[in-house]
């Protein structure tokens, strides 16, 4: 498990590369962590544009 400063560094590095990019597909590895079904998540995100990249604890 990465430490919090490492996760923040990764977020900062990824942010300029991802902002404004279109989400082409969504792959769910652990559906148990979702508050909705994987199908609903895919439908909601596929084709959307990345507007922000945030961190909640050690999760991006």
- Report domain extents, the chain: 4-45
CA distance 42 to 30: 13
What predicted TM-score, i.e. pTM, was given to this entire model?
Answer: 0.75
Note the pLDDT tens digit of each residue in 2-53.
Answer: 899 999 999 999 999 999 999 999 999 988 888 999 999 999 999 999 999 9
How far is the C-alpha of 31 from the C-alpha of 11, rounded, in Å? 23
pLDDT of residue 51: 97
Per-residue confidence (pLDDT) for residue 53, from 0 to 100: 96
Q: What is the pLDDT of residue 1?
A: 83
Tell me how far apart the alpha carbons of residues 42 and 35 are, in angstroms, rounded to a whole number.
13
In our burial notation (b when 16+ CB lie closer than 10 A, e otherwise), range 20-57 reads: eeeeeeeeeeeeeeeeeeeeeeeeeeeeeeeeebeeee
């Amino acid at each position: 498990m990465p430490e919090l400063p490492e996760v923040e560094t990764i977020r900062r590095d990824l942010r300029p590369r991802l902002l404004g990019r279109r989400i082409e597909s969504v792959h769910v590895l652990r559906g148990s962590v979702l508050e909705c079904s994987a199908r609903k998540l895919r439908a909601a995100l596929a084709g959307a544009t990345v507007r922000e990249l945030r961190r909640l604890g050690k999760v991006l």
